[in-house]
Chains A and B, each alone.
Chain A
Amino acid sequence: MIEVENLGKSFGEVAAVQDVSFKAGTGRITGLLGPNGAGKSTTLRILYTVLRPDRGRALVDGIDVVRDPLGARRRIGVLTHSAGSYRQLTARENIRFFGRLHGMGGPTLERRIDELVSKLEMAPFADRRTAGFSQGQKIKVALARALVHSPAIVLLDEPTNGLDVMATRALRELIRELRAEGHCVLFSSHVMQEVAALCDEVVIIDRGRVAASGTPAALQDRFGGTSLEETFVQVLGDQEGLA
């Protein structure tokens, strides 16, 4: 469960996030949808505690991310925007390193790594060094290390960026599985089809504010669009911020 209330964050003169509030429920997939530079990434970065908000508050499972960042980090698994891995370590070693820093170890950790390797179909390259991995393989390594501690909440920053059709489909399948297992999944995207295909809940962000939110169907009803894409354009339509 994620609760975000009146979040604001500026970098010097630039107000990246002005007023963002939303909730993302357990066992649901929530999508942060918006054009480039709308404030999606900044919102996520505040949630995973690498940035501190200027205003408002953000809670993960009731834990304030500013007051108890370590507690919040224990409950979240994060796929960051540029999900680089350690090139000289194998995929398995990359995952193991993250697991150890989560306080895991021994046979428990090894079992969990095996589980993730088979779940993400990483067996063919799990014991190879990650230097030279394809984008799809890199994302899998990054996902596996984000999920190694079985977090209740999963945050994904534009996870399908740079993936081909097959890899994108596989990733969507995985996100659905995470929902089925009861995780709270929050991901950002600027691709409407993706959000429409996956999300139970959509939060449309534009210029640092929430422009609209609700289920895809409810949004379509409210704005009278025939598809989510049309709705998206209508929500943002009269503004020039569409990049």
Chain B
Amino acid sequence: MIRTLLTVLGKEFMETVRDRRSLLSSLVLTPLFGPLLFAGGLSLSMNRAITSLDDAIPLAVAGADHAPNLVHFLRQRGFTLTLQDADDAGLRAWIAEDVERVVLVVPEAFGTQLAAGEPARLQLYADASNSRAERYARRTEQALQEWSSILASLRLQARGISPLVVQPLVVDQVDLSTPTTRSTLVLGMLSYLIVLATLLGGMYLAIDATAGERERGSLESLLTLPVPRAHLIYGKVLASALFMTIALVLVIITSSQAITYIPLEEIGMSANFGPAIALGVFVSMLPFTLLGAALLTVVASFTRSYKEAQTWLGAVLVVPTLPILVAGLLDVKAAPGLMLIPSMSQHLLIQGLLRGEPLSAAFLAVSGLSTLTLGVLLTLLAGWLYQRERILG
């Protein structure tokens, strides 16, 4: 049996390694470019968020002459002001021209209202459906509120009343999140990527070894050999698992490298993905390769052609990623019971590792054993499926 397994494993391995296209899609595209795209996209959006904090906010002011002090205050607060007088229709047309424009309108009555101690009215024109304009408008409003409370304090002091009288409550927020726990939210996507890349690594081999072999007409000859059919299919499952392991190693290496390019520190986060963590992730994920390979092989066995197998397996890839999605949405915490659920348990273990928590040996054992058990059962099912006459198609 061992000899048959190794012979089939060696042949499947050789065939896949020599097929450049399937090698490219199973080992290069997702494991290599997945983390790079992930890190690239993340750092791009972070850079944007970081720089926008310090950005000068462009703001147009209509009727600036009616509020020279306010205009001075806004300039001090770092706003880039454009003085632009127009009526309501003119302003609307002007904003329609460039939806990112935000205009503050100071009516003629502003000065008199302010002097009389009445609420002085201002108008802020912005297209809130544009995210940038919405942000500019919010920042403008914050600045105006600030100016408003300064005025209020000054008025109270002028009447001999402490401004503290109108401030009965002060809330101080104490943020207990460490940089590492905060980054877990961002890095939660990473375990999803690792599981997906691992599965994709063995998908082509699983299809080729079953539906592909049938389509090319080599399956029938193979079944005339004096070895039990089940042993042939076990060899194919192992070959697929081997490729998943290679994809796993690649995706862990690229992920740990790619993470260093994300500017996590700049937003007060830190990533913990050194060699020890990488090894932990590998050990947590290893039993999953057998389960993934057996699952894909079982599904591919039901399909009639390569194309049909590709369609089905594409859909099946979603199944192991569902528990991860659920765990992410409900913010599930690691628990012994959850370690029984494959892919959920791997996700939780990886999350813990990235968060810098020590790897629980008990959790690892429960996760590994339950995943392996299901993997072996599915492998046996694949072997049983190949006993049927219908497997010839």
Residues of A within 8 A of B (CB): 45, 48-52, 70-71, 73-74, 76, 78, 80-89, 93, 97-98, 100-103, 129, 142, 145-146
Q: B121 on the interface (CB 8 Å rule)?
A: no
Closest 3 pairs (CB-CB, A-B): A82-B217, A84-B217, A84-B216
The answer to whether A80 touches B226, judged by C-beta atoms less than 8 angstroms apart, is no
20 contacts between A and B (CB under 8 A): A48-B224, A49-B223, A71-B226, A78-B224, A80-B220, A80-B224, A81-B220, A83-B217, A83-B221, A86-B15, A86-B218, A88-B14, A89-B18, A97-B11, A98-B225, A101-B7, A101-B222, A101-B225, A102-B226, A146-B221
Which residue of the partner chain A has the closest CB to B16?
A: A88
Q: Please give, as numbers and ranges, the residues of chain B lying within 8 Å of A93 by CB-CB distance.
A: 11, 14
Contact A76 B224, CB 8 Å, known A86-B15, A88-B15: yes
Contact A89 B226, CB 8 Å, known A80-B221, A129-B18: no
- CB B236 to nearest CB in A, in angstroms, measures 13
Add 8 more A-B contacts to A87-B15, A88-B14, A88-B15 (CB < 8 A): A51-B389, A73-B226, A80-B221, A80-B224, A83-B217, A83-B218, A100-B3, A101-B226
Interface size on B, residues (CB 8 A): 24
Q: Please give, as numbers and ranges, the residues of chain B lying within 8 Å of A88 by CB-CB distance.
A: 14-16, 18-19
Q: B96 on the interface (CB 8 Å rule)?
A: no
Most buried by A among B14, B226, B227: B226
The answer to whether B11 touches A89, judged by C-beta atoms less than 8 angstroms apart, is yes
Most buried by A among B15, B217, B225: B225
Which residue of the partner chain B has the closest CB to A142?
A: B221
The answer to whether B221 touches A73, judged by C-beta atoms less than 8 angstroms apart, is no
Q: Please give, as numbers and ranges, the residues of chain A lying within 8 Å of B365 by CB-CB distance.
A: none
Assembled-state Cα–Cα distance A51/B222 (Å): 14
Assembled-state Cα–Cα distance A100/B6 (Å): 10
Contact A89 B221, CB 8 Å, known A73-B226, A84-B216, A101-B7: no
The answer to whether A50 touches B225, judged by C-beta atoms less than 8 angstroms apart, is no
- CB B5 to nearest CB in A, in angstroms, measures 11
Which residue of the partner chain B has the closest CB to A101?
A: B225
Q: B228 on the interface (CB 8 Å rule)?
A: yes
Assembled-state Cα–Cα distance A102/B221 (Å): 12
The answer to whether A82 touches B220, judged by C-beta atoms less than 8 angstroms apart, is yes
Assembled-state Cα–Cα distance A85/B225 (Å): 14
Assembled-state Cα–Cα distance A132/B322 (Å): 42
Assembled-state Cα–Cα distance A142/B4 (Å): 20
Q: Please give, as numbers and ranges, the residues of chain B lying within 8 Å of A85 by CB-CB distance.
A: 216, 218
Residues of B within 8 A of A (CB): 3-4, 7-8, 11, 14-16, 18-19, 216-218, 220-228, 389, 392
Assembled-state Cα–Cα distance A50/B7 (Å): 21
- CB A88 to nearest CB in B, in angstroms, measures 4
Q: Please give, as numbers and ranges, the residues of chain A lying within 8 Å of B3 by CB-CB distance.
A: 100, 103
- CB A185 to nearest CB in B, in angstroms, measures 16
Which residue of the partner chain B has the closest CB to A155?
A: B224
The answer to whether A50 touches B11, judged by C-beta atoms less than 8 angstroms apart, is no
Assembled-state Cα–Cα distance A93/B218 (Å): 14
Which residue of the partner chain B has the closest CB to A70?
A: B226
Q: Please give, as numbers and ranges, the residues of chain A lying within 8 Å of B4 by CB-CB distance.
A: 101
Q: Please give, as numbers and ranges, the residues of chain B lying within 8 Å of A145 by CB-CB distance.
A: 221
The answer to whether A101 touches B227, judged by C-beta atoms less than 8 angstroms apart, is yes
- CB A70 to nearest CB in B, in angstroms, measures 5
Assembled-state Cα–Cα distance A29/B157 (Å): 119
The answer to whether B225 touches A102, judged by C-beta atoms less than 8 angstroms apart, is yes
Q: Please give, as numbers and ranges, the residues of chain B lying within 8 Å of A100 by CB-CB distance.
A: 3, 7
Contact A84 B7, CB 8 Å, known A52-B389, A93-B14, A98-B225: no
Q: Please give, as numbers and ranges, the residues of chain A lying within 8 Å of B228 by CB-CB distance.
A: 70
Assembled-state Cα–Cα distance A170/B392 (Å): 30
The answer to whether A84 touches B225, judged by C-beta atoms less than 8 angstroms apart, is no
Q: Please give, as numbers and ranges, the residues of chain A lying within 8 Å of B218 by CB-CB distance.
A: 83-86
- CB B34 to nearest CB in A, in angstroms, measures 26
Assembled-state Cα–Cα distance A95/B45 (Å): 55
The answer to whether A97 touches B216, judged by C-beta atoms less than 8 angstroms apart, is no
Assembled-state Cα–Cα distance A194/B7 (Å): 38
Which residue of the partner chain B has the closest CB to A85?
A: B218
Q: Please give, as numbers and ranges, the residues of chain B lying within 8 Å of A129 by CB-CB distance.
A: 18
Which residue of the partner chain A has the closest CB to B7?
A: A100
Assembled-state Cα–Cα distance A52/B222 (Å): 17
Assembled-state Cα–Cα distance A52/B389 (Å): 8
Which residue of the partner chain B has the closest CB to A97?
A: B11
The answer to whether A50 touches B220, judged by C-beta atoms less than 8 angstroms apart, is yes
The answer to whether A78 touches B14, judged by C-beta atoms less than 8 angstroms apart, is no
Assembled-state Cα–Cα distance A100/B15 (Å): 16
The answer to whether B15 touches A89, judged by C-beta atoms less than 8 angstroms apart, is yes
Assembled-state Cα–Cα distance A73/B227 (Å): 9
The answer to whether A80 touches B225, judged by C-beta atoms less than 8 angstroms apart, is no
- CB B21 to nearest CB in A, in angstroms, measures 11
Q: Please give, as numbers and ranges, the residues of chain B lying within 8 Å of A102 by CB-CB distance.
A: 225-226
Contact A73 B7, CB 8 Å, known A82-B217, A88-B18: no
- CB A167 to nearest CB in B, in angstroms, measures 18
Most buried by A among B3, B14, B217: B217
Q: Please give, as numbers and ranges, the residues of chain A lying within 8 Å of B15 by CB-CB distance.
A: 86-89
Which residue of the partner chain A has the closest CB to B227?
A: A101
- CB B150 to nearest CB in A, in angstroms, measures 76
- CB A133 to nearest CB in B, in angstroms, measures 12
- CB B14 to nearest CB in A, in angstroms, measures 7
Assembled-state Cα–Cα distance A101/B218 (Å): 14
The answer to whether B224 touches A73, judged by C-beta atoms less than 8 angstroms apart, is yes
Assembled-state Cα–Cα distance A93/B7 (Å): 12
Q: Please give, as numbers and ranges, the residues of chain B lying within 8 Å of A82 by CB-CB distance.
A: 217, 220
